[in-house]
Amino acid sequence: MPFIRFLKQLILLAVVISGCTDQPIRNQSEDISPTDPPGLQSKLNLTPTIINNTTPQKLILWLPEEFDPNLDNPYSHVLQTRLSDFIESHPGIRIETRIKGSGQVGGLIDSLSSYAVAAPLALPDLVLLSRPDLVTAAKQNILHPLDNLLSDPNDADWYDYAASLSKVESQTFGLPFAGDALILAYNKSEEFQPPSSWNELQQLNVSLAFPPADPKSLFSIMQYQSLGGTFENDSSSLLINEQVLRELFTIYKQAVDNGLFPTWIIQYETDNSVWQSFLRGRSEMAVSWSSRFLASPPEDTFAAPLPTRDGVPFTLATGYAWVLTSPRSIRHPIAIELAEYLTNAIFLSEWTAAAGFLPPRPSALALWDPSPRQALASQIIPSAELFPDNDVSIFLGPLLADVIVRLLKGEITVDAAVEITLEQTLQR
């Protein structure tokens, strides 16, 4: 049986390798503005590294397909130029980027898991991982802690959500690269004052779309936490706050009764479905991701923080971070140097502005041009907390989705919704 399992790993590894695509990096140069802040300028460190026989000649990077530096768009060009600059300032170094899909065989986390078992020495030097994948890889002992490898392990130039993004059980496993958070999009006039509380929202004659059937229940978990709800895990159950859960379901029931939640939203499972219906004018407001709005704001569409019970700003965020995976410690210093080069504040300012992601560094956002986009990011980021990790969303998400859909359809009462949720969480 061990031989059969090993054979299966080899077969999967063959599939993984066949799906890899080596991406060439163009050699270009990047001008540094003389007006950039001196403190940030000094962090660029363009002094060429002396290559010797202990320095790897090639660095291998794995990236999700949406971050491919060879795509024909502004933010891909910015990333490709940055990689080319690193090559130019490090004679003898080559960078190979390999693009991976997500959520299927041969995707990033599947590939890492397979390589770690069947061919650990073939693991890449750096990987750009989403927060859920970072947690999974860290728990599988694929990632190397960075605490003793960083040039400035006490770097305070991170937003709270970004600092949390890179950690698992108090250990630093990544350098934050891009952030994303839930927001409220609306198609009212520019003079319209978006609601900050549920009371204000329910007094408006508008409809708000979100995906009730989302198997991760991201919006509902965000609202539960904004009400003060917490999650407590033990070996057999997930403990949640009954009073907060009842308040959440009561808000939802009132919203569907007064038309704020149109009944047709119960069919939606994804943010993309909600966004497309919003663009077609089926609702005046929609819950969406900041990246969707910041990357390409639709005409006559605006965005604001999501409303909460008391009007106190709160949202949940996620993101991506560079992680170290190669087991060859001799490769770690140059790989960390590249990761720090790719998370420099000046570069992150340019790249996140082009890509529509939230900067992980305050100094990077400060370098954005003054605009409604910068104002929105400045409102969202200080109140953003990291989404609960996989063990919460994987178990609680589908349960909440099923209960909330039934509640919005009028099949169950608020009391029944609370009872079903509590019973299921205690029986996990």
18 and 162 in a single domain? The answer is: yes
Q: Is there a single domain that holds both residue 30 and residue 141?
A: yes
Q: What is the pLDDT of residues 125-180, one digit of tens each?
A: 999 999 999 999 999 999 999 999 999 999 999 999 999 999 999 999 999 999 99
Provide the pLDDT for residue 29. 31
Does one domain contain both 330 and 410?
no
Closest CA to 178 of 376, 373, 322: 322
Residues 287 and 419 in one domain: yes
Is 380 part of a structural domain of the chain?
A: no
Q: Are residues 159 and 191 in the same domain?
A: no
Q: Which two tokens stand for residue 178?
A: 């891009």
Asked if 253 and 157 sit in the same domain, the reply is: no
Can you spell out the DSSP letters for 70-121?
Answer: TSSSHHHHHHHHHHHHHHHHSTT-EEEEEEE-SSSTTSHHHHHHHHHHH-GG
- Token pair of 269, please? 């499972």
Q: State residue 189's pLDDT score.
A: 76
Q: What is the pLDDT of residues 168-198, one digit of tens each?
A: 999 999 999 999 999 999 998 777 899 999 9
Question: Mean pLDDT throughout 12-26?
Answer: 43
* Short-list 179, 271, 182, 217, CA closest to 392: 217
Burial of 70 (0-12, 13-18, 19+ CB in 10 A): middle
Residue 187 and residue 237 in one domain: yes
Residue 61 near residue 69 (C-beta atoms within 8 A) = no
Residues 281 and 198 in one domain: yes
Q: Which residues contact 134 (CB under 8 A, 6 or more apart)?
A: 143, 165, 166, 168, 173, 174, 321, 323
Q: Which amino acid belongs to residue 282? A: R
Residues 267 and 330 in one domain: no
**Is a pLDDT exceeding 90 seen at residue 238?**
no
Per-residue model confidence (pLDDT) at position 55: 62
pLDDT of residue 102: 73
> 379 in a domain, yes or no?
no
Q: Are 387 and 206 in contact (CB under 8 A)?
A: no
Question: How many domains does one find in the chain?
Answer: 2
Coil/strand/helix, residue 178: strand
The answer to whether residues 243 and 336 belong to one domain is: no
Q: Which residues contact 291 (CB under 8 A, 6 or more apart)?
A: 180, 355, 356, 357, 358
Which residue segment(s) compose the domain that 35 sits in?
A: 2-178+319-374
- Cβ(92)–Cβ(57) under 8 Å? yes
Statement to judge: residues 303 and 340 lie in one domain = no
Q: Residues 120, 112: contact at Cβ < 8 Å?
A: no
> pLDDT by residue (tens digit) across 79-113?
999 999 999 999 999 999 999 987 666 689 999 99
Q: Name residue 330's amino acid.
A: I
pTM, two decimals, is: 0.86
Placement of tokens 């010797």 in the chain: 52
Per-residue pLDDT at 31: 31
Q: Say yes or no to pLDDT of 369 above 60.
A: yes
Q: Is residue 97 part of a domain?
A: yes
Q: Does residue 231 have a pLDDT over 70?
A: yes
The reported pLDDT for the residue numbered 50 is 42
Give the relative orientation of helices 242-257 and 218-226 as an angle to the nearest 10 degrees. Answer: 120
Residue 231 domain flag = yes
Separation of alpha carbons 380 and 359, rounded Å: 11
The stretches of 242-371 forming alpha helices (DSSP H) are 242-257, 271-279, 290-295, 332-341, 345-355, 362-366
370 and 235, same structural domain? no
Mean pLDDT (whole number) for 207-221 = 97
Domain at 279, CATH number: 3.40.190.10
Residue 352 has pLDDT above 70, yes or no: yes
Is the pLDDT at 10 greater than 90? The verdict is no
Percent of all residues in the chain with a pLDDT value above 90, rounded to a whole number: 78
Write down the mean pLDDT value for the chain.
Answer: 87
Residues 381-422: tens digit of each pLDDT: 999 999 998 778 888 999 999 999 999 999 999 999 999 999
Q: Is the CA virtual torsion 79, 80, 81, 83 positive or negative?
A: positive
| Predicted pLDDT of residue 260 | 97
End-to-end CA distance of the chain: 31
Residues 165, 381: contact at Cβ < 8 Å? Answer: no
pLDDT at 18: 43
Q: What is the mean pLDDT of residues 107-126?
A: 94
